[in-house]
Amino acid sequence: MEAKHLHRLTLILSLNELRVFLYIWKWTGALGRGDVILTYDEFSNGRKRKKTNQKERLDDGCGIRHKKEIIIAVRNLREKGFLRIRTNTRDKARIKKKYGITCYDSDGLFLPHRTGKLFQGTR
């Protein structure tokens, strides 16, 4: 993502929305993955290292410490069309949510679903 695109995002999104968006983008778009499963603990404290010491964190999270603020930011991003959320409810005790960025279409245009065409970008 180029600097001019980040600047335009700062004009559209609040600080918490931007933090959540960039954190999801870090684990999906930046690493070339599809949707990623994240918990609220991982948003606030960082992702845990899998298969080794479970207390070790890969990063510091998105910098938002309160769960309610994360929920509001995720909901606003979804309403603005920046975020795709898929919920797995097969096991009611362990509901998992997959988050993905929905900003780019096949031509590389930055198109949030509900806000219309914003700017051209690169994937």
What CATH number should be reported for the domain holding residue 62? 1.10.10
* Full domain range(s) for residue 13: 3-120
- Tally the domains of the chain: 1
Summarize pLDDT for 62-90 with one digit per residue, the tens. Answer: 989 999 999 999 999 998 888 889 988 88
With vertex at residue 46, the alpha carbon angle to CA 42 and CA 49, rounded to the nearest 5 degrees, is 95
pTM of the shown model: 0.75
Nearest to 46 by CA among 65, 73, 71, 31: 65
Per DSSP, the three-state class of 119 is: strand
Q: Which residue has the tokens 């219309």?
A: 116
Q: Show the low-confidence residues of the chain (pLDDT under 70).
A: 1-5, 29-33, 52-54, 103-123
